[in-house]
Structure 1
Amino acid sequence: MAQDKVTSVDVARLAGVSQSAVSRYFTPGSSVSKKTAEKVREAAKTLGYRPNILARSLITGRSRMIGLVVAYLENYFYPEALEKLSTALQAEGYHVLVFMASQTAGNIDDVLAEILDYQVDGIIMASAALSSELSTRCQAAGVPVVLFNRRQDDPSLTAIGSDNVAGARALADFLIAAGHERIAHIAGWEGASTQRDREAGFREGLAAAGRELYARELGNFEPETAREAARRMFDRPGRPDAVFVANDHMAFFVMDVLRFELGLSVPDDVSVVGFDDVPPAAWPAYSLTTVRQRANRMVEETVSALLELIENPGADAKQIALEAPLIVRKSARKPEGWAS
């Protein structure tokens, strides 16, 4: 005969407390005395009790679930950021559902429609954009959305990211100060706000010094496409003497092509700079000069903004661009007098 399912009533009876006290103990953020908590914990352990999350969501109207959408995980930045986001949300009592989507708007719309079916309390879009139609649908469903490392020209959407424009401009200033004359750019996916902002900032820095891009190729944030871009750009006379690659992930593959296929020295023949400062950027094999995205701060701001929108649906949207510092290593020639 099957054993009867243990309920919160059973736990309350064994612990000698009220059922509401048991409910409060298992509700993140609720207040319960240390003595009561100990009684409930021991009774639940003895009986093998676990709360029914789905049943509670029907009562409270909260699923305690957050939908996390990511378009790709090849870039080292995103697995680390997603781990930090998941940990931070779990510490607040939320469960994270991760959904993969391609960069195409139609696919992302399909994924978001599926997420809404799960009755999530909020959505974080990482490395993915949101159509105006789905934005309207999320708002109608009372489900707040926060963009992580992306932004859109929609003041009603909260977006958390780095100051990509200022960071890329600092790279341009650095390369110009180092005496480079033929400065090029290998761009990422042009549908991404990160790419558009980084290129805009880089061009601004060049223009301020009376310069233009010497050459430009498209890498699409994809390893093989970045390799091909490097081959086209450098396997010819009059090659660039410096290149800004739109993210570190592509920059590693570009450096490999330059050094191991084309026999060029980095930085003696060509300086290479990137953006993100993912862990391999500090490896001696690359020692990449780059701009740092402060993942911890981005996660803190994202979780804080999302929880505020969940608790206060009428809260104003925020667009936060965090300072992104220049990290100088050995992949690029340094300006004269630059401190090591």
Structure 2
Amino acid sequence: MANRRSGRVNARDVARAAGVSQSAVSRTFTPGASIAAETRQRVIAAARELGYRPNAFARSLITRRSRMVGLVLADLDNPFYARMLEAVSRELQAAGHHVMLFFTDRGEADDALQEILQYPVAGLLMASATLSSALARECAEAGIPVVLVNRDVPDAPTVSVTADNEAGGAAVGDFLARAGHQRVAFIAGDPEASTSRDREHGFREALARHGLTCHARAVGNYTREGAREAARTLFRVNAPPDAVFVANDYMAFAVMDTLRGELGLRVPEDVSVVGYDDVTQAAWGAYNLTTVTQPTDTMVSTAVTALLDSIRDGAPGRERRVIAGELVVRRSSRCPQNR
């Protein structure tokens, strides 16, 4: 009991109290390890009696294997990433891993990652943040696998998991053209982000197939105020758009608020608005936003599985996995006569 009172209970004390080996104690507290049910119960009972808590950080120093995964985010204002954070945390915890959450500015996250790599992380998941090809190679050389979620870095030794952004953008362009719109605009997110670029490319290609060009373009930088200013720029002109595709739902909400509350326009009677992501708020009565789904749970499950496989196999690799979404039509847009 002296050890318990002093707070210095260790695995050897638990093993002695339970009448088992020290390795049996280690296996008891290692997720997925093989151990007999009776032995496990004896170890847990002894640990509870002694007040023992395993030290995961110390174990990682001994085994040189960490069960910590770094999750890098640049944007929690967007409800899409808040949902992704929850899903990633649940998936990793179910697999016996622990999440270290890091925030970085939008754009490349190299400065933040240099600090992150000082911790004994087994791998990195990056969402709404992008690393350079050079740092991706540095991670690979250090044996730290990296999986990008909703981002892609060409030629970098990483796995990326994205929605089919080009196909989603094309679906929007085709839908708005078939609805009879002639002056269709686009509000980009971060111009350097692969998500915004791919959505815009698919969108423009689809318009071209209908003999249309993008009527106007503005940049919202994936922020609410940026989207509001983009809407003012596009619609305070003599020939404003009759439809606008916004690179994500978070900005589309701000655009709709500006069009209706500030510019006195009706949605969709005066202008159709389409977003991207299909976050929960898109179906709310205030917006009823036509949008393209991003299958968050499937993307997260795919990304986590890819990361854990890489951690287990010790092979970071390079692969791009694309998950299909679909256009969800609601009341923020005019519909084609023959859908």
TM tier relative to shorter chain: over 0.9
Q: For the residues of structure 1 that align with 2:104 and 2:56, how far apart are their CA atoms?
A: 27
Q: Which consecutive residues of structure 1, in runs of 5 or more, have no partner in the other structure?
A: none
The Cα offsets for residues 199-223 of structure 1, whole Å up to 9 and x where unpaired, read as 0010011011111001111111111
Q: For the residues of structure 1 that align with 2:244 and 2:288, how far apart are their CA atoms?
A: 15
Between Structure 1 and Structure 2, how many residues are aligned?
336
The equivalent residue for 1:25 is 28
The equivalent residue for 1:192 is 193
Could you tell me which of 88, 92, 105 is aligned with 2:91? Answer: 88
Task: Flag the 1:315–1:231 CA change in 2: closer, same or farther, 3 A.
Answer: closer
Q: For the residues of structure 1 that align with 2:103 and 2:270, how far apart are their CA atoms?
A: 40
Q: For the residues of structure 2 that align with 1:153 and 1:176, how far apart are their CA atoms?
A: 31
The Cα offsets for residues 145-195 of structure 1, whole Å up to 9 and x where unpaired, read as 111100011152210010000011001111111111111111111010001
1:294 aligns with 2:290: no
The Cα offsets for residues 254-296 of structure 1, whole Å up to 9 and x where unpaired, read as 0001111111110111100000011110101000000000100
The equivalent residue for 1:73 is 76
Structure 1 residue 104, shift from structure 2 partner: 4.3
Q: For the residues of structure 2 that align with 1:318 and 1:133, how far apart are their CA atoms?
A: 17
Q: For the residues of structure 2 that align with 1:257 and 1:221, how far apart are their CA atoms?
A: 16
Q: For the residues of structure 1 that align with 2:12 and 2:219, how far apart are their CA atoms?
A: 63
Structure 1 residue 72, shift from structure 2 partner: 1.7
- Matched residue type, 2:327: L
Q: Secondary structure at the match of 1:117?
A: coil
Structure 1 residue 139, shift from structure 2 partner: 1.4
Structure 1 residue 324, shift from structure 2 partner: 1.1
Worse overlay, 308-317 or 267-276: 308-317
Task: Flag the 1:235–1:138 CA change in 2: closer, same or farther, 3 A.
Answer: same
- Matched residue type, 2:93: Q
> Could you tell me whether the CA contact under 8 Å between 2:144 and 2:316 is conserved in 1?
no
The equivalent residue for 1:242 is 243
Task: Flag the 1:99–1:163 CA change in 2: closer, same or farther, 3 A.
Answer: same
- Matched residue type, 2:299: M
The equivalent residue for 1:274 is 275
- Matched residue type, 1:178: A
Worse overlay, 250-259 or 149-158: 149-158
Task: Flag the 1:323–1:220 CA change in 2: closer, same or farther, 3 A.
Answer: same
RMSD: 1.4
Task: Flag the 1:4–1:79 CA change in 2: closer, same or farther, 3 A.
Answer: closer
After superposing on structure 2, the runs of 4+ consecutive aligned residues of structure 1 that deviate more than 4 Å are none
Q: Secondary structure at the match of 1:272?
A: strand
- Matched residue type, 1:66: V
1:58 aligns with 2:61: yes
Q: For the residues of structure 2 that align with 1:208 and 1:89, how far apart are their CA atoms?
A: 43
Q: For the residues of structure 2 that align with 1:4 and 1:145, how far apart are their CA atoms?
A: 38
Q: For the residues of structure 2 that align with 1:3 and 1:121, how far apart are their CA atoms?
A: 32
Q: For the residues of structure 2 that align with 1:29 and 1:273, how far apart are their CA atoms?
A: 45
- Matched residue type, 1:284: G
Q: In the TM superposition, what are the counterparts of 1:167-246 in structure 2 within 5 Å?
A: 167-246=168-247
The Cα offsets for residues 33-53 of structure 1, whole Å up to 9 and x where unpaired, read as 221121112111111111121
Q: For the residues of structure 1 that align with 2:74 and 2:40, how far apart are their CA atoms?
A: 42
Structure 1 residue 74, shift from structure 2 partner: 1.3
Task: Flag the 1:4–1:238 CA change in 2: closer, same or farther, 3 A.
Answer: closer
Q: For the residues of structure 2 that align with 1:229 and 1:316, how far apart are their CA atoms?
A: 39
The equivalent residue for 2:157 is 156
TM-score, normalised to structure 1, is: 0.96
1:37 aligns with 2:40: yes
Q: In the TM superposition, what are the counterparts of 1:321-336 in structure 2 within 5 Å?
A: 321-336=322-337
TM-score, normalised to structure 2, is: 0.96
- Matched residue type, 1:60: T
> Could you tell me whether the CA contact under 8 Å between 2:146 and 2:316 is conserved in 1?
no
The equivalent residue for 2:141 is 140
Q: For the residues of structure 2 that align with 1:7 and 1:70, how far apart are their CA atoms?
A: 36
- Matched residue type, 2:82: P
